[in-house]
Amino acid sequence: MTRRAISILGATGSIGASTLDLIRREAGKWRIVALTANANAVELAKLAREFSAEIAVVADEASLPALREALAGTGIAAAGGGGALVEAASRLADVTVAGIVGCAGLAPTMAAIEQGGTIALANKEALVSAGEVMTAAVARSGATLLPVDSEHNAIFQCLAGNDLAHVRWITLTASGGPFREWPLERLVRATPAEAVKHPNWSMGAKISVDSATMMNKGLEFIEAFHLFPVGAERLRIIVHPQSIVHSMVEYRDGSTLAQLGPSDMRVPIASALAWPERMDTPCAPLDLAAIGELTFRAPDEVLFPATRLAREAAEAGGAAPAVLNAANEVAVAAFLAGKLAFTAIAAQVEETLGRFAPPAPTSLAEVIAVDAEARYRTREMMEPA
């Protein structure tokens, strides 16, 4: 049997770990091309050795000597820097898992798309920032873009065999995050430690904060807007605290299809890795009798304005989603560093969007330039006067 070639961008992160856990269970079926990280050379080298990767790459060049040392004598190539990351991502692979966090994943994800294989996309910020540019590249290269985000993977499954023209609504479910029951007085004082403690999912720090502000759902709204072109007016968000229904599609005849599963990213990752087949996961079967109740309610966009901001950015189009994403990344980093109040994250994103409206980017280089300028301006606005 020919083994399928796979590259994992962001191998040392939460998505990387879940992917490698699945690969480990089917070791004979896969051949690892590239594994990448930002600066965690020790963990990356450990994984590269375990999985006999062709090449391991750290984006942060300062971490390259440590990576080289840890891989000495193994025959595994080691490289560092942004160019090396893009080169590794453009190596021929059947599947590339785009699991880098933030817009930093954009250039390597685009490089993987250009080589025309299957892209299992977790890195939502890349698609949010580069929407039209990325979808045009997918069409041009013939790459297959499979969503790994649990909501989009659910929608993808609910759409199978149906025509988008028959869709009445696509409904993204949101857990509501750890603060969904908190009043404003408490939200203002929310700490990074409280924000990263998600009730249902175990994820990296940035997406956990996005989940707490509901910006994660906002980014997912824009992601869905590009992946499933039914128009922003047919996309809805509903809060579903149990995170069992991962999203739904309602058709014009009144039928609603939903995908259900445990809150474990190995399920949507397995769906993308095996598509159009299925593969085993070690996840416990869904026990609905034990869960008992599935509840739903409308989101509160006064306390959590991020979904409104994202919807407005999607409707405005052009550079707005890239500006929203860049401002959010800067604000979340400042919050995690203890320099910004939790409620100031969305406020800062709104301020940046109000004060910076560049022309629509039409190429990868222009998206990267908008992203860089929006970051610079957001940092400037956040500096005490």
- Cβ closer to ligand NDP: 51 or 250? 51
CB-nearer residue toward ligand NDP: 99 or 250: 99
Taking the complex as a whole, the smallest distance from the CB of residue 111 to ligand NDP amounts, in Å, to: 13
Comparing CB distances to ligand NDP, the nearer of 12 and 171 is: 12
Nearer of residues 133 and 265 to ligand NDP, judged by Cβ: 265
Q: Which is nearer to ligand NDP, 13 or 241 (CB)?
A: 13
Q: Which is nearer to ligand NDP, 85 or 250 (CB)?
A: 85
In the complex with ligand NDP, the residue whose CB is nearer, 113 or 250, is 113
Three-state SS letters, the chain: CCCEEEEEECCCCHHHHHHHHHHHHCHHHEEEEEEEECCCHHHHHHHHHHCCCCEEEECCHHHHHHHHHHHCCCCCEEEECHHHHHHHHCCCCCEEEECCCCHHHHHHHHHHHHCCCEEEECCHHHHHHHHHHHHHHHHHHCCEEEECCHHHHHHHHHHCCCCHHHEEEEEEEECCCCCCCCCHHHHCCCCHHHHCCCCCCCCCHHHHHHHHHCHHHHHHHHHHHHHCCCCHHHEEEEECCCCCEEEEEEECCCCEEEEECCCCCHHHHHHHHHCCCCCCCCCCCCCHHHHCCCCCECCCCCCCCHHHHHHHHHHHCCCHHHHHHHHHHHHHHHHHCCCCCCCHHHHHHHHHHHHCCCCCCCCHHHHHHHHHHHHHHHHHHHCCC
Which is nearer to ligand NDP, 210 or 250 (by Cβ)?
210
Q: Minimum distance between the CB of residue 54 and ligand NDP, rounded to whole angstroms?
A: 18
Please give the residue ranges that form the binding site for ligand NDP (CB under 6 A).
10-16, 37-40, 59, 99-101, 104, 122-125, 149, 201, 203-204, 206-207, 265
Least gap, CB of 172 to ligand NDP (angstroms): 12
Question: Among positive and negative, which fits the CA dihedral 78, 83, 85, 91?
Answer: negative
- Work out how close the CB of 203 gets to ligand NDP at its nearest, in angstroms, rounded to a whole number: 3
For residue 206, the minimal CB distance to ligand NDP (Å) is 6
Find the shortest distance in angstroms from Cβ 373 to ligand NDP.
Answer: 18
User: In whole angstroms, how close is the CB of 202 to ligand NDP at the nearest point?
Assistant: 7
Closest separation in Å from C-beta 280 to ligand NDP: 20
Cβ-proximal residue to ligand NDP, closest one: 13
